[in-house]
Amino acid sequence: MLKLYGFAVSNYFNMVKHVLLYKGVEFDEVLTFPGMDPAYNSKSPMGKVPCIETEHGYLAESSVILNYIEAAYPARPLLPVDEWRRAKAFELMKMAELYFELPARRLFPEVLAGKAVSAEIKAEVRETIEKGCAALSLLAKPAPYIFGEAMTMADVALRYCLMTCKLATKAIYQWDVVAEVPGLRAWDEMMASADISKQLDQAMQEGMAAFLEAIKAKA
């Protein structure tokens, strides 16, 4: 049986878990915090989560894992068959990571650990996310999902990238990022209302204490 390594507070872990649950793939979870066990690097070379264990071996990097799952478990597809539409889904997924998730992570030392982030970094992050909002306004026309009536992997990836971004921007700037993109709030609420989303959000809340303890132990 497939194994999924990671922890419930990781948005990348939750992207993969959401897709597995949606597709009805059976898997076991292995609680793993990054940087805690050097032996884990034999599974995920950079020590990152998530990582999956398959009958063929281990696979790391969430975007790679998602592509593998779509190919290996084609039931309930989450990517369009048409090459152009599939490429547009990948475009949005990459944009969500580069212009929402990763910039927001630069604010995490202050948001999660109380270590001040410089005004310069805060300004750079806000500028990047503002550009991301403008780009998302051009690419995403929720109806009700990002690319029309059917949910795609782009919806899943954007949801969990935005969770990181919303947390950080609300804490640092008191900024409601979702309000910047037309139609995004209704989409965000719809995605959050799904049973799988509720299940993962609850697991995230329940796992937060263990996650914060892991951060303290590593510091």
Where do the structural domains in the chain lie, given as residue ranges?
Answer: 2-77, 83-196
Q: What is the pLDDT of residue 218?
A: 65
Q: What is the pLDDT of residue 15?
A: 98
What is the CATH architecture of 2-77?
3-Layer(aba) Sandwich (3.40)
Per-residue pLDDT of 86-118, as tens digits, reads: 999 999 999 999 999 999 999 999 998 889 999
Measured at the alpha carbon of residue 138, what is the angle toward residues 133 and 139, in degrees to the nearest 5?
95
Q: What is the pLDDT of residue 35?
A: 82
Alpha-carbon gap, residue 168 to 100, rounded angstroms: 10
Q: What is the pLDDT of residue 219?
A: 58
In this prediction the pTM is: 0.95
What is the CATH architecture of 83-196?
Up-down Bundle (1.20)
Q: Using DSSP, state whether 109 is helix, strand or coil.
A: helix
The series of mean pLDDT values per 10 residues for the chain, 219 residues long, is 96 98 98 89 95 97 97 96 95 97 96 93 98 96 94 98 97 97 97 98 90 70
Q: Which of 42, 54, 48 is nearest to 4 (CA)?
A: 54
Q: What is the pLDDT of residue 209?
A: 83
Q: What is the pLDDT of residue 215?
A: 67
Retrieve residue 199's tokens: 């299940």
